[in-house]
Each structure stands twice: as structure tokens, then as C-alpha cells.
Amino acid sequence: MDHFQLKNGVLHAEDIPLTELAEIYGTPVYIYSAATLRRHAQVFREALKPAGRVHLAFAVKANPNLAVLNILADEGYGADVVSAGELNRALQAGVAPEDIVFSGVGKTADEMRHGLQTGIGQFNIESAEEGHELAAIAAEMGQTPAIALRVNPDVDAATHAKISTGKAENKFGVAIDQAPALYAELSAKPSLNMRGIAVHIGSQLLSLDPLEQAFGKVGDLVQTLRGQGLTVSHVDLGGGLGVPYAPGEVPPSPADYGAMVARVTRDWDVTLMFEPGRVIAGNAGVMLTRVIRVKQALGNPFVVVDGAMNDLARPALYDAWHDFVAVQPNGETMAAHIVGPVCETGDTFARDREIDAVAAGDLAIFRTAGAYGATLASTYNSRALVPEVLVDGSNHALVADRIDPATIMAAERVPEWLK
């Protein structure tokens, strides 16, 4: 069920009209629905019931807001983190250290120490170099962290090139053919508890086939490793499940995903781990924006909104589609380009799109902005950092301030010698 719905002609977030939220918090602003987050967390968990022993870790990168993480921690989710900053957020939100998985190709020595001091549940290591470095640091600290080796199965996830991670040319993981030798080498290190394999081939996947192909290769690897007398008790299958953005886009349902996972992993006898991000948070958020003006042009008019590429970067980065919907639709439509005020041609949300008719001063939302939305925001063009609001039934609260350019400027210095 969609928690952003029209009631009496006005789009609401749960029980609150978006007109009211715009009045209170200003625009542009991200609005999250707590009910949607909880429901998605529950649906995903339910979908994986047939797969047996599972550990769910929300991919913090998708939406690191502390209020969002609190909700997911309450739903029993651990956290998949890729930096000390994300690790600290997860801890602050109440995620137990043992439920935290540390992924990423570029963990620094300091970040490894921090993870070890904190007692996180698992490091997913992505190279021989990283494995040796972590072994040395763990030995120094007298620890034996649990480790999964992330493999690169060389499978085409059929998603945007910039969010594909499982092809041989991508920087992620160890080539799957090299995994047996490296796994054996690292298993011999007394300071590492080698316990599993991790895989994540990309994000916004719209077909289960590449996932099934990758998981099949991982299953073969598990057999090979066990055949070598090595222990494999955990397999982390990553995230990646897509969400519908554009009309006609139909991603596999969590239930279909769960059924495929259960079928492919039936004989593995491991604890399965998952790192969902977008499927939990994507549809739980919208970006609310106000039309500054409608500029007539040679072709279709430009609808200039007060949200920009620095607030919602996905269209500029990946040519991504986000539905644009008027908060108080009048039943008419118009063909237009939707653009922000930033001085880049790439600050374009849509071209020649048939949208709800809007005029200067009207409110509208970009849908499906709860994942990789606010977290990718910047202050480019000295714009404010976009704020975030959480709605929970008839409650609403600012969960991330609008950081204005003066605050950013206050953190800058002109050296004495230039004065």
C-alpha cells in the first residue's frame, strides 16, 4: 500500500497533507513514511522465510538518516556499512555491533581498527591485499574477526553501468576463479576467522536471472571450498533488488526473489546474509519541491522547480526516471521539461514528459526518492543542504536540518597571508 496518496484532492504523506509539510518545513525537502519503511522491512523478511537461517543488514548507504536507521534497527535489521562514518551511524541508531557487516574496497587501516574495536559481526574483504592487512592489524590487536571473501562472479547485472558491480572489469571483489586459493591462504591465518563468501553484482536489478547465475557460481564455490576441507558457514548475497521508477518497469517481487534464493541455496547449509537498500527505502521517500516558474521556450516549456540536481542527483548521474506528481492536481496534463535552478544542463529531471499541469507556486513531488536521494545531496552552487522530514501516522518531525550556505561558509577560512 502506498502511503503517499491523494485525499480530498491533496497528496498526503500518511495522514499529513504535503501542503502542510511544505508550509512548516519549506521546500525542497525529503519526506519519508515510517509506515512504508516498516512494511518494506517486514515484507522483505517474510519473503526470505523459505530460505531458512537469514541475517538482514540494511545497506546504510541507501539512506543513512538516523531516524530511518532507528526504525530499521527496531525492525531487527543489522547494518551493511562501507565507512567509519556509516559504522558510527549504525551504532548510534542502536544496531548491535555483532549485526554490522563492513563492506567496501577501500577500508583504511584506521577503519579496520575501528571495526575491530567496536566488535562488528563481519568484515567482507575484497582483495588479497586487504585480507593480509586486516590479518596483521587483527593479530596486533589480539582479535579474530569473522570474515567473508567478496567474490566477483563476472555476471552482467543488466543495470546502469555506473551501478553494476559484478563484472570482471568492476573494482569490486576477487575474481571467483582466484577465490579458492585466497580463501585457503586466509583461512591459515590465526587472526582471521574465515567463515564465508559474499557477492553483490549491482543495484536496481530488474531481473532475477543474473542474480541466480551469480548465486549458482557461489554455490559451486562453496562446494569447492568444502572439498578443500575449508569451513563455509555464512554466505552474504548482498542487495540489488530493483524498485519501479518508470512506468512499465516491473521489478521482481521480494516473494519471487525469496523463492529463487530458497531454491538455489537449498543444499548450502549456511546462514544467509542480505544487504537490501533500495527495496527497503526507495518507495518510502519523496522529494517535495515547489515550481518557481514555468518558462516558455521554443519547444515544450521548462518547469523550473526549487529542487535541483544537488538535492536529487540520480537523474543527472544515471539518467534515472523519477515520477513527477502535482500535490494538488487539477486533472489536466502538459508536456514539459522539468529542470532545477543549478547552472548545469545536467540539472534536468525530465525532458518532453507528459506531467500533471503545474504553474508557478505549485507543489509537486518526485517519487521513489527515499534511497540514494538525500544521501547523495551536495551544496553545489552554494545552495542549502536539503532537509529531511519523517512522517509517522499523524506525527511529523524534522530529522535532518536544512543546512544553509552561511553555516557552510562559517566552516571555511581565508588564510592570514591572503588578507
Ligand X SMILES: Cc1ncc(COP(=O)(O)O)c(C=O)c1O
The answer to whether 90 and 63 have CB atoms below 8 angstroms apart is no
In whole angstroms, give the CA distance from residue 251 to residue 255. Answer: 11
- 278 binding ligand X? (CB under 6 A): yes
- 195 binding ligand X? (CB under 6 A): no
Of the candidate residues 86, 126, 275, 392, the single one contacting ligand X (CB under 6 A): 275
Beta strands in 181-239 (DSSP E): 193-198, 234-236
The CB-of-2 to ligand X minimum distance in angstroms stands at 20
298-357: contacts with ligand X (CB under 6 A) = none
Of 318 and 380, which CB lies nearer to ligand LYS in the complex structure?
318
The answer to whether 56 and 91 have CB atoms below 8 angstroms apart is no
Q: Which does 240 bind (CB under 5 to 8 A by kind): ligand X, ligand LYS, none?
A: ligand X
Which positions are catalytic? 343
- 276 binding ligand X? (CB under 6 A): yes
The CB-of-238 to ligand X minimum distance in angstroms stands at 5
In whole angstroms, give the CA distance from residue 337 to residue 255. Answer: 37
Annotated binding-site residue? 257? no
The answer to whether 369 and 287 have CB atoms below 8 angstroms apart is yes
| Burial (CB count within 10 angstroms: exposed 0-12, middle 13-18, buried 19+), residue 31 | buried
- 370 binding ligand X? (CB under 6 A): no
The CB-of-97 to ligand LYS minimum distance in angstroms stands at 23
The CB-of-317 to ligand LYS minimum distance in angstroms stands at 7
- 189 binding ligand X? (CB under 6 A): no
Q: Which does 187 bind (CB under 5 to 8 A by kind): ligand LYS, ligand X, none?
A: none
Annotated binding-site residue? 239? no
Residue recorded with cell 534464493: 261
- 239 binding ligand X? (CB under 6 A): yes
Q: Residue 340: what residue type?
A: G
Of the candidate residues 62, 155, 316, 338, the single one contacting ligand X (CB under 6 A): 62
Q: Which does 134 bind (CB under 5 to 8 A by kind): ligand LYS, ligand X, none?
A: none
What the block records as the C-alpha cell of 84 is 567509519
198-227: contacts with ligand X (CB under 6 A) = 200, 203
Annotated binding-site residue? 275? yes
The CB-of-338 to ligand X minimum distance in angstroms stands at 25
The answer to whether 16 and 286 have CB atoms below 8 angstroms apart is no
Q: Residue 211: what residue type?
A: L
Binding stretches for ligand LYS (CB under 6 A) = 61, 163, 203-204, 314, 318, 372
In whole angstroms, give the CA distance from residue 358 to residue 356. Answer: 6
Instruction: Provide the 8-state DSSP code for 405.
Output: H
- Angle of helix 66-74 relative to helix 34-47, nearest 10 degrees? 40
Region binding ligand X by CB under 6 A among candidate stretches 2-10, 226-234, 277-285, 321-329: 277-285
| Burial (CB count within 10 angstroms: exposed 0-12, middle 13-18, buried 19+), residue 209 | middle
In whole angstroms, give the CA distance from residue 359 to residue 137. Answer: 60
Residue recorded with cell 572489469: 169
Region binding ligand X by CB under 6 A among candidate stretches 114-122, 181-189, 274-282, 379-387: 274-282
Closest CA to 213 of 258, 126, 155: 155
In whole angstroms, give the CA distance from residue 173 to residue 127. Answer: 6
The CB-of-188 to ligand X minimum distance in angstroms stands at 26
Q: Is the dihedral of CA 88, 73, 67, 200 positive or negative?
A: positive
- Quick note: the x/- pattern for ligand X over 94-113, rule CB under 6 A, is ---------x----------
In whole angstroms, give the CA distance from residue 280 to residue 368. Answer: 11
With CB atoms as reference, the residue minimizing the distance to ligand LYS is 372
Q: Which residues are annotated as a binding site for pyridoxal 5'-phosphate?
A: 240, 275-278, 372
Summarize the annotated binding site for substrate as residue ranges: 278, 314, 318, 344, 372
Residues in touch with ligand X (CB under 6 A): 59, 62, 80, 103, 165, 200, 203, 238-241, 275-279, 371
Residue ranges for the binding site?
240, 275-278, 314, 318, 344, 372
